[in-house]
Amino acid sequence: MNPIFLSIIIVPVIEIYLLIKIGSQIGAITTIMLIFITAFLGIYYAKYEGLNTLRAGFTQLSRNENPAYEVVSGAAIALAAILLIIPGFATDLFGFLLIFPITRKIILKKFSSKFASTKKEKKNFIEGEFEDIAEEEDDRKI
Q: What is the 3-state secondary structure (H, E, C) of 5-63?
A: HHHHHHHHHHHHHHHHHHHHHHCHHHHHHHHHHHHHHHHHHHHHHHHHHHHHHHHHHHC
3-state secondary structure of 123: coil
b/e per residue, 105-138, with b = 16+ CB within 10 A? eeebeeeeeeeeeeeeeeeeeeeeeeeeeeeeee
pLDDT score of 116? 66
Q: Low-confidence residues of the chain, pLDDT below 50?
A: none
d(CA 51, CA 47) in angstroms, rounded, equals 6
**Rounded to two decimals, what is the model's pTM?**
0.71
Return the domain boundaries, the chain: 35-120
d(CA 75, CA 53) in angstroms, rounded, equals 10
d(CA 129, CA 65) in angstroms, rounded, equals 37
d(CA 8, CA 14) in angstroms, rounded, equals 11
pLDDT score of 135? 67
pLDDT score of 138? 56
d(CA 98, CA 96) in angstroms, rounded, equals 5
For the chain, what is the mean pLDDT? 84
| Per-residue DSSP letter, 43 | H
